[in-house]
């Protein structure tokens, strides 16, 4: 059975960090729509040029574009044995489209990371990321531990844009929780803990949702 995981939660909840670690230990791809868009911006593609202004305002890129990107990505061979989706779906329309894409595949496991508003604002204001590889930086350091690139603030992590992103989350993305909440494979975890504790809770939630916990996707 493939482990098809989606990570939900507001900006700053730690979805990217947890998704990255989880995907690495299971040997499945992490698919982050924010990363895909930022790569397009850096590469200067037509998509990147259109997406940049929207992202810098903290708004959402259109459902049509996002659904196309995710459909194409999930249809690739490496996603057949499972994936961790980070940053998608962000609207009910995206969630409905994802159900269609997944129609003949193993069920989605949905994990919602819950973090109080004040903690999100604090985290986003102090978050530093690597200008070269996009990894999260360690607070207080100047260089990326992974590639020694320079740590910078994300252009959409400044105060005004953070407020807008959290507002957009509340109006457009929160309804996605209600879309999934009644499914037997839906779980909530407390994201306001140290990363190792969150990872332990994530593993437990996935096991409870029906997928065995084994490294690198090996089934017992
Ligand atoms: P993230 O890195 O997930 O916080 O995403 C950064 C920005 O990319 C968001 O603020 C949106 O502008 C855009 N974005 C990422 N994923 C989506 C999505 N599923 N739907 C619409 N816009 C998205």
Q: Which of 30, 38, 73, 90 is catalytic?
A: 90
**Distance (Å) from CA 137 to ligand 1 centroid:** 20
Of the pLDDT bands very low, low, confident and very high (cuts 50, 70, 90), residue 138 is confident
Is residue 134 over pLDDT 90? Answer: no
Of the pLDDT bands very low, low, confident and very high (cuts 50, 70, 90), residue 135 is confident
Q: Per-residue pLDDT averaged across 126-151, rounded? A: 91
Question: Considering the chain, what is the average pLDDT of its residues?
Answer: 93
Instruction: Say whether 122 is catalytic.
Output: no
The pLDDT of residue 213 is: 57
**Distance (Å) from CA 16 to ligand 1 centroid:** 12
Residue 127 lies in a domain: yes
Count of residues in the chain: 220
Q: Per-residue pLDDT averaged across 94-98, rounded? A: 98
Q: Is the CB of 30 under 6 A from ligand 1?
A: no
Of the pLDDT bands very low, low, confident and very high (cuts 50, 70, 90), residue 159 is confident
Residue 71 lies in a domain: yes
Pocket test for ligand 1, best of 51, 87, 130, 172 (most atoms within 8 A of CB): 87
What total number of domains does the chain contain?
Answer: 1
Q: Which of 15, 30, 123, 187 is catalytic?
A: 15
Q: Per-residue pLDDT averaged across 161-189, rounded? A: 96
Percentage of the chain beyond pLDDT 90 is 85
CB burial string 34-53: b at 16+ within 10 A, e below: bbbbbebbeeeeebbebbbe
Q: Is the CB of 165 under 6 A from ligand 1?
A: yes
Of the pLDDT bands very low, low, confident and very high (cuts 50, 70, 90), residue 186 is very high
Q: Is the CB of 166 under 6 A from ligand 1?
A: no
**Distance (Å) from CA 9 to ligand 1 centroid:** 12
Model confidence over 148-158: pLDDT tens digits? 999 999 989 88
Please state, in angstroms and rounded to a whole number, the distance separating the CA atoms of residues 203 and 211. Answer: 9
Lowest model confidence (mean pLDDT) among 73-82, 83-92, 128-137, 162-171 = 128-137
Instruction: Say whether 154 is catalytic.
Output: yes
Q: How far apart, in Å, are the Cα atoms of 61 and each of 6, 106, 138, 195, 203?
A: 19, 28, 29, 29, 31
Of the pLDDT bands very low, low, confident and very high (cuts 50, 70, 90), residue 220 is very low
Contact 217, 27 (CB under 8 A): yes
Residue 217 lies in a domain: no
Is residue 61 over pLDDT 70? Answer: yes
Residue 215 lies in a domain: no
Q: Per-residue pLDDT averaged across 172-179, rounded? A: 98
156 CA: nearest ligand 1 atom: 10
Percentage of the chain beyond pLDDT 70 is 95
Residue 218 lies in a domain: no
Model confidence over 200-218: pLDDT tens digits? 999 999 998 876 555 554 4
Instruction: Say whether 216 is catalytic.
Output: no
Full residue range of the structural domain in which residue 71 is found: 3-208
Residue 219 lies in a domain: no
Please state, in angstroms and rounded to a whole number, the distance separating the CA atoms of residues 179 and 184. Answer: 12
The pLDDT of residue 209 is: 86
Q: Which of 21, 50, 57, 127 is catalytic?
A: 127
Residue 37 lies in a domain: yes
Residue 94 lies in a domain: yes
Tell me the CATH number at 115.
3.40.50.300
89 CA: nearest ligand 1 atom: 19
88 CA: nearest ligand 1 atom: 19
């Amino acid at each position: 059975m493939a482990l098809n995981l989606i990570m939900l939660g507001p900006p700053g909840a730690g979805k990217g960090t947890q998704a990255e670690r989880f995907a690495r230990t299971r040997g499945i791809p992490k698919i982050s729509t924010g990363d895909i868009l930022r790569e397009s911006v850096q590469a200067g593609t037509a998509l990147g040029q259109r997406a940049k202004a929207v992202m810098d305002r903290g708004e959402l890129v259109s459902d049509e574009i996002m659904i196309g990107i995710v459909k194409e990505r999930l249809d690739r061979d490496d996603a057949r044995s499972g994936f961790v989706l980070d940053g998608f779906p962000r609207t009910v329309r995206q969630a409905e489209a994802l159900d269609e894409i997944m129609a003949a595949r193993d069920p989605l496991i949905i994990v919602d990371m819950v973090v109080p508003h004040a903690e999100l604002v604090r985290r986003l204001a102090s978050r530093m990321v690597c200008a070269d590889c996009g990894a999260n930086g360690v607070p207080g350091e100047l260089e990326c531990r992974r590639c020694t690139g320079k740590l910078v603030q994300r252009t959409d992590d400044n105060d005004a844009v953070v407020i807008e992103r959290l507002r957009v989350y509340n109006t457009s993305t929160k309804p996605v929780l209600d879309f999934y909440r009644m499914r037997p494979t839906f779980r909530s975890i407390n994201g306001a803990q140290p990363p190792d504790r969150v990872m332990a809770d994530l593993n437990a939630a996935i096991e409870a949702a029906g997928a065995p916990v084994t490294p690198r996707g090996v089934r017992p």
